[in-house]
């Protein structure tokens, strides 16, 4: 399976491309914003494509040609304004979904926020509410398509070394999860059809990632 990783140069994205390249069944195509980022991924054995999420849908669709799955791990980051949150976390995500459809890709994995319910938008601090709202509507758009989707809602992200064990379900208690383990969860979802059509939260736990995904 050839996988386009959108947001490959992010912290989760870098782990994910590495895990994909270590897999016997998957091959990565890293979508990056700058050519100077390419060598990192090429050294891992991955293909690269330089595309900005603010580009046209057709440009993103061209990057998705020939792949079997798209993983959206991109984000505007904590230091940008509400404008970039809308342009990347909402419009960028929707454009990527449309691009996947245009390119004939069937499988789509979305990395969302831990809680993107309407209640979460209302309860979020004013500085965080636009991000939750953007993720909410991007998730809803994906679910309204015919794509074979998986939506992953990770807990508080850390840079600790992953344990390979998580707790994953429709609803779990809020907690932390290493970015490395989130990338492992994505990889497992790509390798297991049990994840298709599923939306779940994930935090650190005591169940192997393979078993956690299988039991979704």
Closest CA to 103 of 32, 200, 189, 6: 6
pLDDT recorded at residue 79: 61
- Among the listed residues 40, 131, 137, 149, the single catalytic one is 131
137 is catalytic: no
**pLDDT at residue 86 is higher than 90:** no
pLDDT band at 66 (very low <50, low <70, confident <90, very high): very high
**pLDDT at residue 153 is higher than 90:** yes
Q: Which whole number is the average pLDDT over 142-161?
A: 98
**CA-to-CA distance for 156 and 91, rounded, in angstroms?**
24
* Both structure tokens of 192: 């297991």
When divided into structural domains, the chain yields a total of 1
pLDDT recorded at residue 150: 98
Query: Domain span at residue 161?
Result: 2-214
Q: Which whole number is the average pLDDT over 12-19?
A: 98
CATH number at 18 reads 3.40.50.720
* Both structure tokens of 94: 């929707």
Confirm if 101 and 147 have CB atoms less than 8 A apart. Answer: yes
This prediction has a pTM of 0.95
pLDDT recorded at residue 39: 97
pLDDT band at 78 (very low <50, low <70, confident <90, very high): low
Per-residue pLDDT tens over the stretch 120-129: 999 999 888 9
Side-by-side strand order, sheet with 107-111: 47-50, 27-32, 2-6, 69-72, 107-111, 148-154, 198-204, 165-169, 207-208
**pLDDT at residue 82 is higher than 80:** no
Per-residue pLDDT tens over the stretch 167-200: 999 999 999 999 999 999 999 999 999 999 999 9
**pLDDT at residue 56 is higher than 70:** yes
């Amino acid at each position: 399976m050839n996988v386009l990783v959108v947001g490959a140069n992010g912290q989760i994205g870098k782990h994910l491309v590495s895990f994909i390249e270590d897999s016997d069944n998957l091959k990565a195509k890293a979508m990056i914003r700058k050519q100077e980022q390419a060598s990192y991924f090429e050294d891992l054995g991955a293909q690269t494509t330089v595309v900005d999420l603010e580009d046209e849908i057709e440009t993103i669709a061209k990057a998705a040609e020939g792949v079997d799955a798209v993983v959206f791990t991109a984000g505007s980051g904590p230091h940008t304004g509400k404008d970039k949150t809308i342009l990347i976390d909402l419009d960028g995500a929707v454009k990527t979904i449309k691009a996947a459809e245009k390119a004939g890709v069937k499988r789509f994995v979305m990395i969302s926020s831990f809680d993107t319910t309407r209640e979460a938008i209302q309860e979020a601090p004013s500085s965080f509410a636009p991000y939750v709202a953007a993720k909410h509507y991007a998730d809803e758009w994906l679910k309204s398509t015919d794509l074979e989707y998986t939506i992953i809602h990770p807990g508080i992200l850390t840079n600790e070394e992953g344990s390979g064990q998580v707790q994953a379900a429709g609803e779990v208690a809020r907690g932390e999860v290493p970015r490395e383990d989130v990338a492992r969860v994505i990889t497992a979802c790509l390798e297991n059809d049990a994840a298709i059509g599923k939306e779940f939260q994930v935090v650190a736990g005591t169940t192997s990632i393979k078993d956690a995904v299988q039991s979704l």
